Amino acid sequence: MSVPAEREPATPAPVPALEVRGLVKHYPGVKALDGVDLVVRQHEVLGLAGENGAGKSTLLKALVGLVTPDAGEIYVRGEAVKLRSVVDAANHGIGMVFQEQSLVPNLTAAENILLGGEGAAVRRGVYRWDVMRRLAQEQLDKIGSNIDPLARTDTLSFADRQMVEIAKVLRIEQRSQHPPVIILDEPTSVLESKEIDTLFAQIRRLREFASVVFVSHRLDEVLDVCDRVTVLRGGRSVGEVATAGAVPRELHRMMIGSTGSDDHYHENAAAAVAAEQPRLSVRGLSGRSFRDIDLDVAAGEIVAIVGVHGSGREDVCRALFGIEPTTAGEIRMDGKRISLPNTRAACAAGIGYVPAERKTEGMVGPMSVAENMTLTKQKARCAGPFVAPRKQAGLVDRWIERLSIRTPGRDTPIQRLSGGNQQKVVLARWLIGGDIRLLLLDHPTRGLDVGARSEVYRLMRELAAGGVATVLLADSLEEAIGLADRILVMNDGRVAAEVACPNGGKPSPLDLVKEMV
Amino acid sequence: MFAALSPQFRSIENVQNIVDAAAVLAVVTCGITFVLMMGSIDLSAAGVMGASALTVSLLVANNRNDNDFGLAGVAVAVLLGCVFGCLSGLALVLLKVPSFMATLGVSAIGLGVATLMFAGVQPNISDAMLKGWAIERLLGLSYLTWIAAACVLAGWLVQRYTRLGRYAFAIGGAEEVLTLSGVRVKPYKVAVFTLAGAFYGLGGVMVTSQLGAGLVQAGNGYDFSAITAAVVGGTLLTGGRGGILHSAVGVVLVMVLTNGLVQVGVSPYWQGGVEGLIVVAAVAVAVIPQRRRNQVVK
């Protein structure tokens, strides 16, 4: 393969270990990557920072061959490459430790480390455990870990499993003669602080013979362990910071950029908040990943819960819909104490939930708009035990018009609609019964384009004006600030702060970040 | 418990009975265990055993034709089992037919083939070696029992020391991880089903040895009993846990139970139902720790 002579002149700067130029990736309705540039130098730890939806995960997937970019180039040590699979990437010396751990739990650590490339440890399909143990031990020694190679993986602690993953990824050294590039995607999100220290020590060791790309939501960590940080926003690289002397605030400002849009969130349409007793009142709610949550939401009020990945806010939201079990605390609706052992109880209490994963949890793809809309409130479309076709048609058409859902008809499969219109159908599901009192919106605008977002915002305002109380887990901090009347900041399973967020007196994202990390 | 209820249960002969009766089930369970470990299910045992029973009875000395191939006939029957297993595996990985449906279909094909070969006249075998397997004893146990023991040992070695066995285990644990690590999973799946087919083929031969004749129904009930035994032994239907030794214990437990029920005078008509009850109860018990664990998983 002859690359046109675009060789570097004899500059003292060495060729970057990995370089990305103008990478573009479209998904239906979203531009995940919009011309990203990235340079990973040899023997450096590069941080990658960006809000949700900035394109980090798509970029990482492209680097290990899980996503094929629509345009743009990836260069490994100056040479343009096409990465078609994980194996392909490994052959070029690129390996990734996935966010959700990718180890086989019922195999030994040694087997996991050598998986797919056992080499001398398996001869003619027969295992030689002593060789396997030795080869795995060599990998573990590289990162200075003292895990027993023959321990079953599911008996190891989370941090140890992380070490096994790193040892496994380091095996790619054998596939290419050059120093490898190791990508760590959110490796610290579930680690204790002591384990994090160990991991960071390992990362610094890695630098001696590899390049590392480090991704984390926790900016202080990024600044701590990285040499340099590249910031992504909206699928582009918006800046680069040398970490020496930098502070989290600075990084965060680059991540969120300036929000110039006027009244994107329909702030002037904010509903008057009922002052008397709250619609939803939660006291001391505790569960698996959250403790002592107090939360009040009045009729017409939008309360946003913000927090980093792992703060427990998703679980609080799910607990309020009876999905996540709780161990203590009480929940009152309009002053009346209720218990939410399951989702049925929540529906009966007038609570609606729009899940974050619309395609898998929010809707039944191949079923029609009408079926999806009437999924929960069956009574609204039925006469006795039977579906009343004309009643259903009238009801569904009324809501299609009311929410201006663009669909060829009520019988169109919902998967043929655009994301924004799908989301409106999902929302309508809770509205058709006319008994909705509290809406739980988990990332309601995830994956939607700007226009569709705006419509969902407008709909939220209308519902609030109609007296519905809303709990919102927003996609970004600006969204939370723009929409909410009040913001709860969660950190490590607890409410760290409560910030009033009235129209005209909005806090800045930095005020919130302070409490989040 | 059974020992207290029935003096016969305690006798040496009865212990021999239990162990001998367990032989065929043990071999079939070995095969099914590999498939279950992988997280698939195999319902083809009955059909494959029927086909192999007819094949072997028509290839060794018998009253229907002049064949007298002896051990070679046994080998052909086992190979036929491999072919059926391979078919199941190919249907699973190439046609994406879920394993329960693919193997159910293969079972029907096996029964069909067996019926064709049966052709209305039962082949009685006169091969002294094959008949002797069920009758002659070594150290108090029949040859069939020793064959079963050898199968369990071989199965254990495969499971512990071969890539096939370890990958079958790994596929049940986290198949996507294997794919992400660059392992081609499909050939291993086909190989596991093929291996299982070999065990069923041998099982069919063993039943023929016991009955002295090739019957279409040779494998009747073994498919379900084998799954029962594997599950009772601690192999999870979701794959990734258990193994051959677990299953061997399961086989003994199931046989003791069936035998015990007979000895204390429970009508054999009840046994099918009791076995069904056991398998459902065993699965329910097996998932209890999992349910709990899901709630504390972090």
What value of ipTM does the predicted structure carry? 0.78
Residue A468 lies in a domain: yes
Q: Is B163 on the interface with A (CB under 8 A)?
A: yes
Give the three-class secondary structure for B264: coil
Residue B212 or residue A12, greater confidence: B212
* Span between the terminal Cα atoms of chain B, in Å: 42
Longest dimension (CA), chain B: 67
Task: Extract the tokens encoding A165.
Answer: 């993953």
Boundary residue ending a domain (A226, A254, A282): A254
Minimum CA–CA partner of B177 in chain A = A102
Express each pLDDT in A346-404 by its tens digit: 998 999 999 988 888 888 988 999 999 998 888 888 888 888 888 889 999 999 998 88
Residues A95 and A196 in one domain: yes
Which is it for strands A126-127 and A79-81: parallel, antiparallel or unpaired? unpaired
Q: B172, B175, B190: which is closest to B243 by C-alpha?
A: B172
Q: Inspect the interface and report whether the beta carbons of B166 and A111 lie closer than 8 Å.
A: yes
Task: List the pLDDT tens digit at each of the 298 positions of chain B.
Answer: 666 666 666 677 777 777 877 899 999 999 999 999 999 999 999 999 999 999 999 988 888 888 888 888 899 999 999 999 999 999 999 999 999 999 999 999 999 999 998 888 888 888 888 888 888 888 878 899 999 999 999 999 999 999 999 999 999 888 888 888 878 889 999 999 999 999 999 999 999 998 888 888 888 888 888 988 898 888 888 888 888 999 999 898 888 887 777 777 777 788 778 777 877 887 787 666 655 443 333 3
Express each pLDDT in A40-90 by its tens digit: 888 899 988 887 667 888 888 888 888 888 888 899 888 888 888 888 888
Q: Is A290 on the interface with B (CB under 8 A)?
A: no
Length, in residues, of chain A: 517
Residues A461 and A329 in one domain: yes
Residues A98 and A189 in one domain: yes
Residue B298 or residue A158, greater confidence: A158
The predicted structure's pLDDT at residue B158 = 93
Boundary residue ending a domain (A254, A284, A307): A254
Residues A49 and A70 in one domain: yes
**DSSP letter string over A385-440?**
TEE-HHHHHHHHHHHHHHTT---S-TTSBGGGS-HHHHHHHHHHHHHTTS---EEE
Counting one residue from chain A and one from chain B, the pairs whose CB atoms sit within 8 A come to 64
Instruction: Name the burial class of residue A120, with classes exposed (0-12), middle (13-18) and buried (19+) by CB atoms within 10 angstroms of its CB.
Output: exposed
Residue A156 lies in a domain: no
The predicted structure's pLDDT at residue A416 = 83
A 122-141 residues with CB below 8 A of B? Answer: 122, 125-127, 129
Q: Which of B160, B178, B240 sits opposite A106 (nearest CB)?
A: B240
Q: Inspect the interface and report whether the beta carbons of B174 and A117 lie closer than 8 Å.
A: no
Containing B95, the helix (H) or strand (E) segment is: none
Half-sphere exposure of A197 (CA within 13 A, CB side): 2
Tell me the CATH number of domain B2-288, given options 1.20.950, 3.30.1300, 1.10.3470, 3.30.300.
Answer: 1.10.3470
Q: Which of B160, B173, B241 sits opposite A104 (nearest CB)?
A: B173
Q: Which of A115, A126, A158 sits opposite B183 (nearest CB)?
A: A115
The whole-model pTM stands at: 0.72
Alpha-carbon distance B290 to nearest alpha carbon in chain A (angstroms): 13
CATH code of the domain in which A498 resides? 3.40.50.300
Query: What average pLDDT does range A467-493 have in this prediction?
Result: 88
Q: Inspect the interface and report whether the beta carbons of B182 and A104 lie closer than 8 Å.
A: no
Minimum CA–CA partner of B241 in chain A = A106
Tally the domains of chain A.
Answer: 3
Q: Is B296 on the interface with A (CB under 8 A)?
A: yes
Interface test with B, best of A107, A122, A326 (most B CBs within 10 A): A107
The predicted structure's pLDDT at residue B9 = 65
Q: Is A450's pLDDT higher than 80?
A: no
Residues A227 and A248 in one domain: yes
| Type of residue found at B129 | M
Q: Is A118 on the interface with B (CB under 8 A)?
A: yes
Instruction: Name the burial class of residue A289, with classes exposed (0-12), middle (13-18) and buried (19+) by CB atoms within 10 angstroms of its CB.
Output: middle
Spatial CB neighbours of A133, under 8 Å, sequence gap ≥ 6: A110, A149, A150
- Percent of chain A whose pLDDT exceeds 70: 92
Q: Is A283's pLDDT higher than 90?
A: yes
Residues A192 and A78 in one domain: yes
Which is it for strands A126-127 and A181-185: parallel, antiparallel or unpaired? unpaired
Instruction: Name the burial class of residue A68, with classes exposed (0-12), middle (13-18) and buried (19+) by CB atoms within 10 angstroms of its CB.
Output: exposed
Minimum CA–CA partner of A105 in chain B = B173
Task: Specify whether the CB–CB gap between B56 and B73 falls below 8 A.
Answer: yes
Which chain B residues touch A325 with a CB distance below 8 Å? 295
Q: Is B295 on the interface with A (CB under 8 A)?
A: yes
Q: Is B160 on the interface with A (CB under 8 A)?
A: yes
Residues A75 and A188 in one domain: yes
Containing domain of residue A493, as a range?
A: 267-350+437-516
Residue A334 lies in a domain: yes
Computed over its alpha carbons, how large is the radius of gyration of chain A? 26
> Which range (A75-84, A261-270, A391-400, A462-471) has the least confidence?
A261-270
What CA–CA distance (Å, rounded) separates A127 from A339?
55
Q: Which of A105, A190, A325 sits opposite B173 (nearest CB)?
A: A105
Which chain B residues touch A127 with a CB distance below 8 Å? 160-163, 166
What CA–CA distance (Å, rounded) separates A173 from A420?
45
The predicted structure's pLDDT at residue A281 = 92
Boundary residue ending a domain (A197, A231, A254): A254
Spatial CB neighbours of A502, under 8 Å, sequence gap ≥ 6: A485
The predicted structure's pLDDT at residue A479 = 84
A 94-113 residues with CB below 8 A of B? Answer: 98, 102-107, 111
Q: Is B139 on the interface with A (CB under 8 A)?
A: no
Residues A407 and A373 in one domain: yes
What CA–CA distance (Å, rounded) separates B228 from A281?
51
Computed over its alpha carbons, how large is the radius of gyration of chain B? 19
Residue A158 lies in a domain: no
Q: Inspect the interface and report whether the beta carbons of B241 and A118 lie closer than 8 Å.
A: no
Residues A473 and A497 in one domain: yes
Query: What average pLDDT does range A100-127 have in this prediction?
Result: 84
Q: Which of B169, B177, B298 sits opposite A103 (nearest CB)?
A: B177
Q: Is B176 on the interface with A (CB under 8 A)?
A: yes
Residues A23 and A96 in one domain: yes
Residue A312 lies in a domain: yes
Q: Is A195 on the interface with B (CB under 8 A)?
A: no
**DSSP letter string over A183-219?**
EEESTTTT--HHHHHHHHHHHHHHTTTSEEEEE-S-H
Spatial CB neighbours of A327, under 8 Å, sequence gap ≥ 6: A286, A287, A288
Residue A355 lies in a domain: no
Task: Specify whether the CB–CB gap between A471 and A303 falls below 8 A.
Answer: yes
Residues A391 and A337 in one domain: no
Query: What average pLDDT does range A168-185 have in this prediction?
Result: 81
Q: Is A288 on the interface with B (CB under 8 A)?
A: yes
Residues A429 and A306 in one domain: no
Which chain B residues touch A288 with a CB distance below 8 Å? 295-296
